[in-house]
Structures are given as C-alpha cells and as structure tokens.
Amino acid sequence: MTAPAKERTPRARRAATAPKKVHGSTTRRDSVINVRVPRLLKSLIDQAADAVGKSRSEFILESARTHAIDVLLDQRLFVLDAERYDAFLSALDHPPPAGATLKALMARKPLWQK
C-alpha cells in the first residue's frame, strides 16, 4: 500500500512553478525580437534547426546566446599557461621605449584642449 500523495501548499506550488534564474534574468519569455531575413537565410536556419531537432526560435536563441557569451568573454577573459603569463606580466612591467611617432603624438595638445 502506498502512502497518499502529500498535497502542496500554495507557497510550495508557486515555488515549484516559479521561473528559474538564467544569467541574471528569468526563463520567462516576456520580450519579443523580430528580425527580417532573406528567404535563403531563413531556409538555411530552418535546415540547421531541423538537423539538431530544434524549432527555429530555439535554434536562433541558443545560437545568439552562445555567440553573445563568446563575444563578451573574448573581451574580458583570456587564459595563459604559467610561462606565457609571466611573459605577459614582464611585457606590462617593461614596455618598449616610446618611438618618435608615439612621442610626437603625446606631445600634441588634444583637440578638446585647443
């Protein structure tokens, strides 16, 4: 004999059905993105989405999200092994001497000060 199922309280039901957080936002879809594309591009996207078993929207959102994360990480994060890290720090600590072009540029008065 199995025990009767425990009924959830209203608070427990809300917690169980609440949208989960994903990168600072919720999974609730409350924004719309409209994009006009050439027919050939739409067809290409549809073929790719079909190939991986996703809807067009799922495919586009996943691709855009992945690319957005890559773009932001490329501008903020880079990984070096210990030897290259030491070389990087050394280059920062001991920059090459300024050449004539850089010296001339630095000697000019900026436009906003003229």
Which tens digit of pLDDT belongs to each residue from 74-97?
A: 888 778 999 999 999 999 999 999
Residues 28-79 have pLDDT tens digits of: 778 999 999 999 999 999 999 999 999 999 999 999 999 999 999 888 877 8
Given a cut of 80, is residue 12 above it in pLDDT?
Answer: no
For residue 7, the model assigns a pLDDT of 53
For the chain, the structural domain boundaries read: 33-92
Given a cut of 90, is residue 107 above it in pLDDT?
Answer: yes
Q: What values do phi and psi take at 22, rounded to 5?
A: -135, 110
Residue with tokens 């009924």: 7
**Beta bridge partner(s), residue 26:** 21
Given a cut of 70, is residue 19 above it in pLDDT?
Answer: no
Residue with tokens 């000019």: 108
d(CA 64, CA 86): 35
